[in-house]
């Protein structure tokens, strides 16, 4: 009966990772541009080691692939808000200074004039540096990601100045993984210099004056959470039943 209890306990331990992932998604259901993870697969593997040759246990494939399925668009009318279309992602500077990618497009200027998103990550230009705009200048972002700045004190017929193009990448041809800081990065086999990746076949486009909601379906996530709860209860009952059967067998042997 120890094999039954071993398998049930292994299942509880592995499904813990799924519950943690689901809880994180529910917590970010209202976060702008948040992307859920691709469902992990559970496989059966043979346990290794002396005395474990007959043990088969469930195992979760350790992958943290991100689903770039678009969320709903929310019109804001704010010229600093952008939503990325299809599987496009935007390059930002992570807290550790490395290149990372995100779908969060609630942009603003910090006190130093650096263009940031709602998570306070500086938005990078195609040359790899943060986009900086003089204080007080009006900002306009085109559908291709070009950032123009204009001094409101200048005559209206004066054209705005191009200060940079937002680093946009089409990720439709590859799979991105979630970093520990919740930003995205390509898998090593798809990464090139400085953590960047080759642009896909589609031209990245943005929607101005709108934000993208999370692609987490709250109803589906809650149903999965209930299913995990029922599965946990079933596995615990299985372990208790295995203990009862083992004790009954031991009692029968003592009776003889």
Q: Of the candidates 213, 119, 210, 128, which has an alpha carbon nearest to the alpha carbon of residue 169?
A: 128
Q: What is the pLDDT of residues 110-142, one digit of tens each?
A: 988 899 998 999 999 998 899 999 888 889 899
| 167 touches 90 (CB < 8 A) | yes
Per the model's pLDDT, the better-predicted residue between 85 and 235 turns out to be 85
For residue 198, how many C-alpha atoms fall within 13 Å in the half-sphere facing its CB? 7
Q: What is the pLDDT of residues 97-117, one digit of tens each?
A: 999 999 999 999 998 889 999
* Mean pLDDT of the 194-213 span: 90
Give the chain's largest Cα–Cα span: 104
Please check the confidence at residue 229 and state whether its pLDDT lies above 80: no
Please check the confidence at residue 175 and state whether its pLDDT lies above 60: yes
Q: Of the candidates 93, 77, 98, 76, which has an alpha carbon nearest to the alpha carbon of residue 32?
A: 76
Q: What is the pLDDT of residues 8-56, one digit of tens each?
A: 556 666 666 777 777 777 888 888 888 887 766 556 566 665 655 556 6
Question: Would the pTM count as exceeding 0.85?
Answer: no
Helix/strand/coil (H/E/C) assignment for every residue in 100-150: EEECCCECEECCCCEEECCCCCEEEECCCCECECCCCCEEEECCCCEEEEE
Per the model's pLDDT, the better-predicted residue between 232 and 203 turns out to be 203
* CA–CA distance, 180 with 182 (Å, rounded to integer): 5
- The mean-pLDDT minimum among 25-34, 56-65, 166-175, 200-209 falls in 56-65
* Mean pLDDT of the 227-232 span: 70
* CA–CA distance, 205 with 163 (Å, rounded to integer): 18
* Mean pLDDT of the 82-102 span: 92
Model pLDDT, residue 218: 81
| 150 touches 167 (CB < 8 A) | no
**How far is the CA of 222 from the CAs of 22, 32, 161, 226, in angstroms?**
9, 20, 49, 6
pLDDT band with cut points at 50, 70 and 90 for residue 256: low
Please check the confidence at residue 252 and state whether its pLDDT lies above 70: no
Model pLDDT, residue 1: 47
For residue 19, how many other CB atoms are within 10 A of its CB?
16
Query: Position of tokens 């120890």?
Result: 2
Q: Which helix (H) or strand (E) holds 11?
A: helix 2-27
**How far is the CA of 243 from the CAs of 2, 120, 172, 196, 229, in angstroms?**
8, 53, 51, 53, 22
Percent of all residues in the chain with a pLDDT value above 70, rounded to a whole number: 73
């Amino acid at each position: 009966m120890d094999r039954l209890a071993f398998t049930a306990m292994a299942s509880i331990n592995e499904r813990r990772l799924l519950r943690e992932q689901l809880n994180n998604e529910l917590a970010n259901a209202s976060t702008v541009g948040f992307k859920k993870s691709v469902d992990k697969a559970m496989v059966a593997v043979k346990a290794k080691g002396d005395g474990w040759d007959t043990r088969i246990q469930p195992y979760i494939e350790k992958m943290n692939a991100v689903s770039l399925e678009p969320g709903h668009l929310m019109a804001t009318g704010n010229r600093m808000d952008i939503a990325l279309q299809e599987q496009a992602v935007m390059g930002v500077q992570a807290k550790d200074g490395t290149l990372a990618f995100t779908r969060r497009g609630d942009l603003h200027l910090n006190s130093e004039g650096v263009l940031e998103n709602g998570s306070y990550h500086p938005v990078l230009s195609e040359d790899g540096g943060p986009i900086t705009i003089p204080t007080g200048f009006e900002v306009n972002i085109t559908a291709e990601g070009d950032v123009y700045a204009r001094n409101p004190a200048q005559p209206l017929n004066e054209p705005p100045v191009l200060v940079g193009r937002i680093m946009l990448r089409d990720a439709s041809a590859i799979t991105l993984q979630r970093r520990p800081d919740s930003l995205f990065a390509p898998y090593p086999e798809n990464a090139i210099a400085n953590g960047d990746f080759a642009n896909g076949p589609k031209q990245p486009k943005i929607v101005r004056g709108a934000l993208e909601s999370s692609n987490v379906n709250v109803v589906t996530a809650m149903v999965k959470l209930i299913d995990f709860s029922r599965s946990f209860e079933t596995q615990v009952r299985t372990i208790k039943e295995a203990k009862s059967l083992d004790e009954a067998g031991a009692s029968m042997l003592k009776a003889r």
